[in-house]
Structure 1
Amino acid sequence: MGQPMRESNVLTLDIGSRPMTQPLTQRSRWLRALQGGIAVGDLFIVTAAVVIAGIGRRQLQLFDTANDLTLVADSVGVYIIALWMLANVGVGTYAKTFLGVGTVEYARIGSAAGLTAGLVGIASYLTHFNLSRGYFVIMFAIGLPALLLWRYLARQLVHRAHTRGHLMTRVLLTGSSSHVDDVAAVLRREKWLGYDIVGAVLPKGSTELVTGRGIHVVGRTGDTSAAVLSTKADLVVFTEGAFPSAVDFRRIAWDLEGRHVQMAVVPSLSDISSGRMAMRPVGGLPLVHVEQPQSMGASRGAKRLFDIVGASLMLLVSSPVLLFVALAIRLGDKGPVLFRQTRVGRDGELFECLKFRSMVVDAEARLSSITHLNESSEGVLFKMQSDPRITPIGRFIRRFSIDEMPQLLNVLRGDMSLVGPRPALPAEVRRYDPDVQRRLHVRPGLTGLWQVSGRSDLSWDDTVRLDLYYVDNWSMVQDIAIMLRTVQAVVASRGAY
């Protein structure tokens, strides 16, 4: 006979089964490959900058001429390369969150270069190391711009792959149907982000099988983990209504642990730049501090100085092209070269906006006869892709936005800015809603977010949203980024007609 079984005095808890670690998704693999490829490119550029600095110092004899300084510089080159690469890693230039999106990546590259320069300078001073000043200047003068250019080119390659449907991130949206559709509209519009929406998870009790924008419902709140597995999602985006309480979100996060899926929460706040928000935990409660809108900053002296210097340089460089275009317009139909139109500036002040004439002389008189052909079904704008009033030379200069170059004179006069909202007609302003009138708090711009986001392809609502975002979130860094993106948009002729 066997011994009778004893009652165990160990308390058994039903803690559920811990999810097995999910293998790396396809996105995770290509993202790691992207990080590695960018790091290799950085290493090549940093090494080249150090080598060129050594050669340049010997050839140009900058700042100092002692031959032994060349040997000193060459002896520390390897250590500077290692330090610079470690600084890139340390400040997060390879962080997945910011890789390929926004200006944070560029800012961190600058921070890494500054950190490296500071450490090299401090170490040389403290150890009385006789490092060549010419070597030091050439190295960072070449290395930093080259790194920024390399990251920009790498980003463009990734964006191009995204727009062609490659290297996509499979996104699962969760929340109320209306909020899911709102987020989906943004992700689908910005194709360069590379987000492929694979399904929606709606709150319990909802009976929809498909959202209003045609996204298939693959589960209900509480089944998020199963929905991730079934859709092979790389990213779960939680919109409003995705979870009834913080405890529910915590449980969902527990379920997703180990599944190589990222999580993102869309706050109720919208159209606020990351620069105006700061996360500060207080007693375990994540408080998002939001700075005030920045429209007043867009009217101060620094931006005005940027406008004057930038417009002067652009006029100087482009003057041969402008003279050629002016001559072509004049010889085309013997009409005036410039088209002058009253527009609304800052605080509602009227000014005479200048453009190269791209239409027939009596274009305004003909407008009433083609109003019924307006291709814009919303808002207050007249849009027509094949407007019969446009002249042959006008079609060319519109395609590359050359017709707007005379507005540089408006910038110098103070009527406009290089970057800002689209200059509006008085008839449009009279029909503005109160919120839309906030566009008039800053000078209108020669270019802006509307210019680099599609121009005439944008709906009225999108144009307003972008302009209000610019007014509320102005920064000099954003102005510079928009100017750089404008070059790309003009060359590609996106939305130009």
Structure 2
Amino acid sequence: MTAKSDAQLAEEVDIRSSRVLHWRFVMNLALMIFDAVVYFAVSMVVLSLSHEMNLITTRLQLNLPVNPYFYSVVCAIIYVFCMHAAGVYHRHVFADGYQLNVLLLKGGFIAWISICALDFIIQTNVSFFAVCMTSLSVWIAEMIVRFIARIFLTRQHRKGEYSYPTVIVGSPEGIGQILKFLNQRRQLNYKPIRVCPIRINAKTGLVEADPNLALMDKEIRDSWAQPIQVIEYGDHLASRIAETGAQTVMVTDVLDRFSDNLSTFALQMESVNLELALITSALDIAEHATQMRNIQGMSIMTISLPQYSPAAQIKKRIFDIVVSTIAIIITSPIMLIVALAIKLEDGGPIFYKQERIGLRGKPFYIHKFRSMRVDADAHLKEVLEANGQEMGARYKLKHDPRITRVGNFIRKTSLDELPQFFDVFMGSMSVVGPRPQRSFEVAEYDPVYATRLLVKPGITGPWQVSGRNDLNEEESRQLDVSYVQDWSVMGDIVYILRTIGIVIHPQGAY
């Protein structure tokens, strides 16, 4: 390939990127305009119904009239700005229902505070009730509209529209994992059009093509269910990728971060204007907050995770107390019915407690509604042996003979977990976190997986809302470790909303 042809390919990729940026800009602009119109319309309706159209400002005791239409326009602009600051218009958020609704709530809350501040500054006679009703009505309207728009966009994604043609580079196993991930999360907009299996030559330390095409084909069949062509790693790879019509190159593994191999690879891709997306490990240092300091001529970079600060820990504890208290009050009638059903079935104990390992390896007792017969623990080993399994950190029994009839129902609906809200209230657990495990399971942790012990175990979490027992061991571990790295109160709210969806439509629970 000549330099001129590379330049032409770079221009073609740039044109494709411009088209994507164009429709993304148009879509976001349309959403912003629509959001502003919705807020303006709702605001005018609320002001009219509350008989507050005659607005004045008492600033400096002037009692000057304020045009209600102009006031609503200003509030609508503030609302859109707050939505943008909350991340509502981000490309990876738009089609994610749970996360989008939480961000709409976050943005609406920021807008509500901002508009209250505006009313205080200019001292209008707009009532607090009117501001609150406008914010609540707009939030409800936005969720409905976004739901409809999300259905349309998801359908278009499945047709290949509004997506980023992507070439996935990595080991066959790594490519298979990413294909499965993208197949489950079409809202990310990445459309795999080629795969490029690679490996590191043990002698030279350089990247080379992975010749195991049979394994690559199997990974594609198992993870994507549609044929994807393989592009061989080698000379002029960037140009050949650009010729496929790709816009993004996604690196899954093999190419270690900060390595010469990755730096060289990145330069090749960027030379033809291809976007590079790097899949990092759950504990990658890039997720940490960094700060550069110069101390007596020496540059030192310090890293930290802000969510582990004392203030963040206090915030999470308050969140747990509030949520667990509300949950206990609301679910009390349900817990009473479940307790009665368990007692009537076999006359045994209603509750079941078991020692689990909690924060920083400290043992505690977890409480559940009993879903198995009274002597279930004593027969675990023989049941596993009968199913060809061994005691370990991950054993799966789809048809466990120890489960009672009532127990089968409360397990599938997750009602057996309700007593754990008392454990949360007392402080041994959190509402959201990795599931608590037993001592023999913890004994099998490697150093990376052991980081899950740095947070309190939770009633729900990434494992429960992402397939539960249908996940393989590696997927479960990745989810838990990622949570330790990324948790936030806002993220916990997303998991709670997703858990409600799982309770309504159970999957992977047995």
Tell whether the 8 Å contact from 1:272 to 1:473 is kept in structure 2 after alignment: no
Shift of 1:300: 2.9
Letter in 2 for 1:53: S
Corresponding residue for 2:44? 54
State the percentage of identical aligned residues: 26
Q: In 2, are the aligned partners of 1:379 and 1:461 still within 8 Å (CA)?
A: no
Correspondence for 2:167: 172
Superposition deviation, residue 474 in structure 1: 2.9
- Equivalent positions of 1:85-104 (< 5 A) are 85=80, 93-96=88-91, 99-100=94-95
Residue 470 (str. 1) matches residue 487 (str. 2): no
Say how many residue pairs are matched.
466
Cα distance change, pair 36–279 in 1 and its aligned pair in 2 (3 A): farther
Contact 1:171–1:233 (CA<8 Å) still a contact in 2?
yes
Cα 1:439/1:335, change in 2 over 3 Å: same
**Aligned partners of 1:471 and 1:418: how far apart in 2?**
14
Can you give the 5+ residue segments of structure 2 that lack an aligned partner in the other structure?
A: 57-64, 199-205, 221-228, 293-299
On the 8 A contact 2:42/2:138 being kept in 1, the answer is: no
- CA gap of 1:211–1:481, structure 2 versus 1, over 3 A, is farther
Cα deviations by residue, 1:15-48 (Å, 9 ceiling, x for unpaired): 5243165499999978966775665555445433
1:143 aligned partner, one-letter code: V
Report the counterpart of residue 134 of structure 2 in structure 1.
139
Q: 320, 331, 349: which is aligned to 2:333?
A: 320
1:19 paired residue number: 8
**Which region of structure 1 is more displaced relative to structure 2, 455-464 or 369-378?**
369-378
Q: How does 1:375-394 map onto structure 2 within 5 Å?
A: 379-394=392-407
The residue number in structure 1 matching 2:178 is 186
Is the contact between residue 343 and residue 353 of structure 1 (CA under 8 Å) also seen in structure 2? Answer: yes
The aligned amino acid for 2:407 is G
1:56/1:304 Cα in 2 relative to 1: closer, same or farther (>3 Å)? same
Backbone CA RMSD of aligned residues: 4.5
Give the Å deviation of 1:201.
6.1
Q: Distance in 1 between matches of 2:110 and 2:212?
A: 53
Please give the residue correspondences for 1:88-487 in structure 2 after superposition, counting only pairs within 5 Å.
93-96=88-91, 99-100=94-95, 110=106, 114=110, 118=114, 125=121, 130=124, 132-134=126-128, 135-144=130-139, 146-147=141-142, 151=146, 154=149, 169-174=164-169, 177-178=170-171, 181-194=173-186, 195-197=190-192, 198-200=194-196, 202=198, 205-206=208-209, 208=211, 210=213, 212-214=215-217, 217-229=230-242, 231-238=244-251, 240-241=254-255, 244=261, 246=263, 249-255=266-272, 257=273, 262-266=275-279, 270-272=282-284, 276=288, 290-292=303-305, 294=307, 300-374=313-387, 379-487=392-500
Change (3 A) 1:325 1:107: closer
Q: Determine the C-alpha separation between the residues in 2 that align with 1:486 and 1:213.
A: 35
Q: 1:37 to 1:143 in 2, by over 3 A?
A: same
Q: In the alignment, what sits opposite 2:296? A: none
What displacement does 1:309 show? 1.1
Q: Is the 8 A contact 2:434 2:457 kept in 1?
A: yes
CA distance in 2, matches of 1:209, 1:477: 43
Deviations 1:131-155 (A, max 9, x none): 6244444433443565467557755
TM-aligned CA deviation for residue 354 of structure 1: 1.4
> Cα deviations across residues 35-87 of structure 1 (Å, max 9, x unaligned)?
756655554454333333333344446xxx68455983234434544564467
CA apart distance, 1:418: 0.7
C-alpha separation between the residues in 1 aligned to 2:137 and 2:301? 39
Deviation at 1:100, TM superposition (A): 4.0
Aligned to 1:353, what secondary structure does the other structure show?
strand
Q: Distance in 2 between matches of 1:467 and 1:142?
A: 37
Q: Deviations over 1:177-197 (max 9, x none)?
A: 53x632541341353323453
Query: Which is further off, 438-447 or 217-226?
Result: 217-226
Could you say which structure has the larger radius of gyration?
1
Q: Which amino acid aligns with 2:195?
A: G
Distance 1:431 1:23 in 2: 48
Tell me the secondary structure at the aligned position of residue 220 of structure 1: coil
Give the Å deviation of 1:90: 8.3
- Residue type matched to 2:40 in 1? V
Alpha carbons of structure 1 residues 38 and 376: separation in structure 2 relative to 1, 3 Å: farther
Q: 1:131 to 1:293 in 2, by over 3 A?
A: closer
| 1:273 Cα deviation after fit | 8.7
Alignment CA distance shift 1:426-1:266 (3 Å): closer
SS of residue paired to 1:443:
coil
Give the Cα separation in 1 of the matches to 2:233 and 2:70.
63
| Alignment-derived partner of residue 295 in structure 2 | none
Matched AA of 1:16: K
Consecutive unaligned residues of structure 1, counting only runs of 5 or more, are 1-13, 281-286
SS at match of 2:394: coil
Q: 1:207 to 1:487 in 2, by over 3 A?
A: closer
Q: Tell me the distance in 1 between the aligned counterparts of 2:302 and 2:211.
A: 36
Cα shift at 1:446: 0.7
Once the two structures are TM-superposed, the CA of residue 477 in structure 1 deviates from its matched residue by: 2.1
C-alpha contact 1:297 1:474 (8 A) present in aligned 2: no
2:282 and 2:481 in contact (8 A); partners too: no
- The two structures have a TM-score, normalised by structure 2, of 0.74
93-102 or 385-394, which deviates more: 93-102
Contact between 1:308 and 1:412, CA under 8 Å: does it hold in 2?
A: yes
| 1:60-75 map, 5 Å | 60=50, 67-68=54-55, 72-75=67-70
Distance in 1, matches of 2:261 and 2:185, equals: 29
Identify which range, 48-57 or 15-24, moves more after superposition: 15-24
Residue of structure 1 equivalent to 2:225:
none
